[in-house]
Amino acid sequence: MVSTVAAASLASLWDEVSGTQPDPDTWVVFATLAAAAAVVVPQGLWRLSRNAVTIAHEGGHGLVALLTGRTLTGIRLHSDTSGLTVSRGKPHGIGMILTAAAGYTAPPLLGLGGAALLGAGRITLLLWLATALLVAMLVMIRNAYGAMSVLVTGGTFVLVSWLAGPQVQAAFAYAVVWFLLLGGVRPAFELQAKRSRGGAGDSDADQLSRLTHVPAGLWLFLFHAVSLCALLGGGRWLLGL
């Protein structure tokens, strides 16, 4: 009897996660776009919200390191919104190149993937996938501030997923995806500005230049292209165009 109830509960849970949910009202889509822009564009709020982009940035490094066969040893997130992902393996080759390239491209590509899920009505699936990724990342965090940042972010997803109603879940999911799409554009411009002033000499673009003998400016162009194309493509999905 107990096993039957448990099986029915699991089946119901799976149906909820894998099923589709109704799209939010149009005004919610535009309101969440405005809310995301409000925390990305102003410099003061961006200093705080950029922490979430750093989580996606370092998570991208870590995920690709694992997928390419490298050994991920740890991730650190700092209060100045910088981060560091350390992996072991060959210091050259395609695995190292893809790992280095994953940071600046991860937030916009995650936003694009999220937009595709929302465009298909998979709001609950998006929230659960994001929670799972944050839990997996938490295991690899190696400093207190990083652990706190990921716990707060993941806890927010858990609370919304379990306690909020469908409309609140939809608004939250749209706000998160808009934030990743918009917030994924700004870091590449910031890096370009730092490099123009002679700073950021050990940036991802510079590391990629040393690995591939391709000018760092071309890697910056790639970061810009990925983030802007993701914003355009993801925006079309979110706006139902």
pLDDT for res 200? 72
pLDDT in tens, 35-86: 999 999 999 999 999 999 999 999 999 999 999 999 999 999 999 999 999 9
Q: Where are the domains of the chain?
A: 2-238
pLDDT for res 17? 61
pLDDT for res 128? 95
Low-confidence ranges of the chain (pLDDT < 70): 1-19
Count Cβ atoms within 10 A of the Cβ of residue 94 and give its class: 0-12 exposed, 13-18 middle, 19 or more buried.
Answer: exposed
Q: Is the pTM of this model over 0.75?
A: yes
Place of tokens 């997130």: 77
pLDDT for res 3? 58
pLDDT for res 23? 82
Chain-wide mean pLDDT for the chain?
91
pLDDT for res 196? 87
pLDDT for res 22? 77
Q: Would you tell me how many other CB atoms lie within 10 Å of the CB of residue 59?
A: 25
- Helix (H, G, I), strand (E, B), or coil: what is residue 17? helix
- How many separate helices (H) and strands (E) can be counted in the chain? 10, 2
